[in-house]
């Protein structure tokens, strides 16, 4: 029973932290505009940040 409580607490902590990270990403005003990066396959990938949602092109 002790391990079940520990696992429950870990799952809750992960859920809360993932919610906070996704909420920050959605509502953050940082990173607006276009950015480019090099993929592991050597291709240049463009990304656009709009209201916290990333669009790949």
* More confident: 20 or 57: 20
* Cα of 27 vs its chain's centroid, Å: 12
The pLDDT, as a whole number, for residue 34 is 74
pLDDT value of residue 16: 96
Residue located via tokens 């993929």 = 39
**HEC profile of 1-57:** CHHHHHHHHHHHHHHHHHHHHHHHHHHCCCCCEEEEEECCCCCEEEEEEECCEEEEC
What's the predicted TM-score (pTM) here?
A: 0.51
Whether the predicted pLDDT of 39 surpasses 80: yes
The pLDDT tens digits of the residues spanning 11-28 come to: 999 999 999 988 887 776
| Percentage of residues in the chain having pLDDT higher than 70 | 70
């Amino acid at each position: 029973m002790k391990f079940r409580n520990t696992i429950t607490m870990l799952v809750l902590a992960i859920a809360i932290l993932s919610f906070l990270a996704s909420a920050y990403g959605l509502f953050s005003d940082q990173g607006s505009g276009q950015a480019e990066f090099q993929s592991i396959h050597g291709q240049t990938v463009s990304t656009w940040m709009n209201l916290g949602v990333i669009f790949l092109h």
